[in-house]
Amino acid sequence: MRTGYNYFYFLIFILLFASVSSSLAVNGKFKLRTAIKERLPKKIAWIEPGVTEKDEVLKKLGKPDKAEKSFFYNISGLDYDTTISFKNDKVAYIFHSPIQTIAFSEFQKLLPEEQTKKTDPKVISEQPLHERGRVFNVTVEAEGVLIRVSNTKLKMVESFTLWQPGKKAP
């Protein structure tokens, strides 16, 4: 009888370990993407480029405010603050311009080292004037992420673009 309980507890332990391990693998691999998705409005955070189908987007978000090759939605209160583009009836990418103020520093620590160097104010200020402009983009193709950041002292996020991880940026 005692071995039955031991077996039961051992099985529970294995299931918990497997669940925690898979959770860490998913969250550990795409930390930047996960952090960005947490900052997206819940209305669109569920969308997965390369997986979510056009019909599902229409069902959950309703008719877009404007539809061309992409769907344009007013999610956060700004005209067309969200663009959802499709390829073969699946979401190719999501573009969202947040209405709330989000500091780029929230995401900087999650960037790969080569991207962190590119966001150094000294590196940006040494670029030719036409390249440094009023914004700069940080692209991490491995995670399917582009963050557009204001090139000011505060470095605020202007927009996010998410596409299928590992694919080329749209």
User: Over the stretch 124-150, which tens digit does the pLDDT of each residue have?
Assistant: 556 565 556 788 889 999 999 999 998
pTM attached to this predicted model: 0.75
Rounded mean pLDDT, 49-65: 96
Q: Which backbone phi and psi does 38 adopt, to 5 degrees? A: -65, -25
Per-residue pLDDT, 25: 36
pLDDT band, residue 99 (cuts 50/70/90): confident
pLDDT of 67 strictly over 50? yes
pLDDT of 26 strictly over 60? no
